[in-house]
């Protein structure tokens, strides 16, 4: 048994089910994520990965099932409580930086928003924090007052990460964070995410269709197909010794490519 699983999980989901008409986007999904653990969700397009993230983070209600965060019932909590979690202990990094950034607000303002939303009222301190986080995501703090529209795609994504991490969340949901980027930019971003996650001891639930990214970042992985988790386990085990035919196909198609 994995040593982590002996500790209390941060987030637990049981038997999540959600249908869109005839499509079962989630069909009996179970999941645990422990403090400091990185879990990758892989699977082809349409397999239910985004839906799973949205349900786990309370953005969408399942037809059935339970989600609990540190013993609190996520689906039953008030919207106020869920929003509070979303701007403090949780973070969400979207595939498209436009969905996670305010494009008309400066980089510093983007990073400062979560601080201000949780009561920060000292302009100088907010600037200091913004500068610190820009440095951590390898953006020149001299560009703090520029709007993200002037940044490259990779920089926008790093800014979105800085904006999310500034409140030191415990759990971050990432939906294909390297999705729209050039391959070389992807590699740099993955290295950065890996370093930050290790430094900060974050738990991360990352959706990706990139097997190599999963291998680089994740301790464990879940393979999804048609709303079902067909295989899960330690990343190296799943990738080196896939049990389910679908996983075998996924792994071999990557090797062939």
Partner 1 sequence: MTHDPGYNFAYLDESTKRMIRRAILKAVAIPGHQVPFGSREMPLPYGWGTGGIQVTAAVLGPADVLKVIDQGSDDTTNAVSIRAFFRRTAGIATTESTEAATIIQTRHRIPERKLREDQILVYQVPIPEPLGRLEPRIAETRRMHAMADYGLMHVKLYEDIARHGHIATSYSYPVMVNGRYLMSPSPIPAFDNPKMDQMPALQLFGAGREKRIYAVPPYTSVKSLDFDDHPFRPIRAPHVCELCGSGDTYLDEVLTDDVGGRIFVCSDTDFCSERQAMKEAAE
Ligand X SMILES: Nc1ncnc2c1ncn2[C@@H]1O[C@H](COP(=O)(O)OP(=O)(O)O)[C@@H](O)[C@H]1O
Binding partner of residue 61 among partner 1, Mg ion, ligand X, none, CB under 5 to 8 Å per kind?
none
In order of 21, 60, 68, 74, 104, the CA distances from 224 in angstroms are 19, 19, 21, 22, 37
Nearer to partner 1, 113 or 176 (CB): 113
Structure tokens at 224: 């999804």
DSSP-assigned letter for residue 120: -
Nearest Cα to Cα of residue 34 among 229, 166, 239, 220: 220
Q: Burial level of 240, CB count in 10 A (0-12/13-18/19+)?
A: exposed
Q: Binding segment for ligand X among 39-47, 75-83, 105-113, 160-168 (CB under 6 A)? A: 39-47
Q: Considering the complex, what minimum distance in angstroms separates the CB of residue 125 from partner 1?
A: 8
Written as one string, the DSSP assignment of 160-187 is: HHHHHHTT--SEEEEESTTTTS-HHHHH
Binding partner of residue 46 among ligand X, Mg ion, partner 1, none, CB under 5 to 8 Å per kind?
ligand X
Binding partner of residue 123 among ligand X, Mg ion, partner 1, none, CB under 5 to 8 Å per kind?
partner 1
- Non-local CB neighbours of 256 within 8 Å, separated by 6+ positions: none
Residue 25 in the binding site for ligand X (CB under 6 A): yes
Candidates 9, 41, 74, 113; binder of partner 1 (CB under 8 A) is 113
Residue 208 in the binding site for Mg ion (CB under 5 A): no
Residue 83 in the binding site for partner 1 (CB under 8 A): yes
| Subset of 45-74 contacting ligand X (CB under 6 A) | 45-51
Residue 87 in the binding site for partner 1 (CB under 8 A): yes
Binding partner of residue 23 among partner 1, ligand X, Mg ion, none, CB under 5 to 8 Å per kind?
ligand X
Structure tokens at 150: 């002037």
Which residues sit at the interface with ligand X, rule CB under 6 A? 20, 23, 25, 43, 45-51
């Amino acid at each position: 048994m994995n040593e982590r699983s002996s500790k209390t999980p941060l987030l637990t989901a049981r038997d999540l089910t959600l249908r869109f008409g005839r499509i079962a986007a989630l069909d009996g999904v179970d999941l645990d994520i422990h403090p400091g653990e990185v879990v990758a969700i892989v699977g082809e397009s349409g397999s239910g990965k985004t839906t799973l993230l949205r349900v786990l983070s309370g953005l969408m209600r399942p037809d059935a099932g339970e989600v609990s965060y540190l013993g609190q019932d996520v689906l039953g909590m008030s919207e106020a409580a869920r929003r509070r979690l979303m701007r403090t202990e949780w973070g969400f990094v979207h595939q498209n930086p436009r969905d996670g950034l305010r494009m008309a607000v400066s980089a510093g303002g983007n990073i400062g928003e979560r601080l201000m939303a949780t009561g920060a009222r000292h302009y100088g301190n907010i600037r200091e924090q913004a500068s610190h986080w820009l440095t951590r995501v390898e953006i020149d703090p001299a560009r703090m007052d520029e709007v993200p529209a002037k940044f490259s795609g990779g920089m926008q994504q790093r800014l979105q990460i800085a904006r999310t991490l500034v409140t030191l969340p415990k759990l971050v949901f990432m939906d294909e964070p390297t999705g729209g980027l050039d391959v070389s930019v992807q590699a740099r971003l993955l290295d950065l995410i890996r370093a930050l996650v290790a430094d900060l001891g974050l738990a991360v639930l990352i959706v990706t269709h990139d097997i190599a990214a999963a291998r680089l970042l994740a301790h464990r992985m879940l393979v999804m197909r048609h709303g079902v988790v067909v295989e899960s386990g330690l990343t190296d085990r799943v990738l080196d010794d896939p049990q389910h035919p679908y996983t075998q196909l996924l792994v071999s198609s990557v090797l062939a490519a």
